[in-house]
A and B are shown apart, each in its own frame.
Chain A
Amino acid sequence: MSDVLLKKVDRKLYSRLKAEAAMRGKTVGQVFNEAVRVWLTVQQSRDIESERNVEAYLEIKEELLKHPGEYFVIAKGTFLGRFPTLGDAFKRMKDNGTTRGFVIRSQASGEWLGGSIEH
């Protein structure tokens, strides 16, 4: 174990962490280690899920152009369907218990000339 100095830690957050740790008979360092382990695991699983989402997207990519105006939803590495409204697409994601993924509607690129780009 090593001693680490952390800068720019939220004071209120740190106070809460310290209090919660004390209530559970743990040191701040022990709780910090636990929290970091959980955070790293979550990040790792998110990366894996993102890769699976990209694979699922590549499988249905051709379909996007065939259904302009519809919303395609991919989450948890699976194509969840295409929907006529954004509300329906989000509802499907919520029903599936997910808050991350691709919500895609075929969109054209365009132009941005003058105006605010210079200001």
Chain B
Amino acid sequence: MNGLADQLNIRDCFEAGDWGYVIEASILNPLHDLRFPQTGKLLLKVDTGFSGPIVVTGDVFEFLRLSDIEVPEDIRPTYRTLAGAMTMRSAMAIVEADSKQVEADILTPLQGPGKLLVGCQVLEELRLALLRKKTCFVSIDSLVD
């Protein structure tokens, strides 16, 4: 048997909450040598309906001092939602997940408290499997990055 399941190596798994599937990650601002959280990992909701990278709450954005390096107002990204367009503040940082570092835009809503979630732009850099009520980082023997 050389099916995909046989070649699947499951690493870290995270139990889904009532609010959906999650992964653990950290966010780094190398310019200020800041990391959130300072110890342990952050739970980010897996949101395949979001085409962008990472959304964080306003206080995480401020903690990481991302407002010091955020993009100018006129090029803030806008996302189409069912309730209309949503403009986001955005700054570049590093997302650390599954022992990988991914350069990503970190977003937070211009208005409102925001959420903690990971969208498709970062998800496509990771190897994830949804196994019943768990999200797992996996590697596949026959696939080379």
Interface positions of A (Cβ within 8 A of B): 54, 57, 64, 71, 85-87, 89-90, 93-94, 99-105, 107-117, 119
Contacts and interface: CB of A to CB of B under 8 A. Distances in A.
Contact of A107 (B86, B90, B117): B90
Contacts of B94: 86
B72 A114 contact: no
Contact of B47 (A54, A99, A103, A115): A115
Report, as a range, how many residues of chain B touch the other chain: 35 or more
B80 A86 contact: no
The 8 closest A-B CB pairs, nearest first, are A115-B49, A110-B51, A112-B79, A111-B80, A86-B103, A100-B68, A115-B47, A109-B78
A82 B52 CA distance: 23
Interface of B: 19-20, 30-32, 45, 47-52, 65, 68-72, 75, 77-83, 86, 90-92, 94, 103, 105, 115, 117, 119, 121
A116 B82 contact: no
Given A109-B79, A117-B50, 15 more contacts: A64-B75, A86-B30, A100-B68, A101-B68, A102-B69, A103-B71, A103-B91, A104-B71, A105-B105, A107-B90, A111-B50, A111-B79, A113-B80, A116-B20, A116-B115
A62 to B, nearest CB: 12
Nearest to A108: B77
Contacts of B117: 116
Contacts of B31: 90, 93-94, 99, 103
Main secondary structure on chain A at its contact with chain B? Answer: mixed
Q: Which of B47, B70, B91 has the most CB of A within 10 A?
A: B47
A87 B105 contact: no
27 contacts: A64-B75, A90-B30, A93-B31, A94-B31, A99-B32, A99-B65, A99-B68, A100-B68, A102-B70, A104-B71, A107-B90, A109-B80, A110-B50, A110-B77, A110-B79, A110-B121, A112-B47, A112-B80, A113-B50, A113-B82, A115-B48, A115-B49, A116-B47, A116-B117, A117-B81, A117-B83, A119-B19
Given A112-B49, A112-B51, A102 B80 contact: no
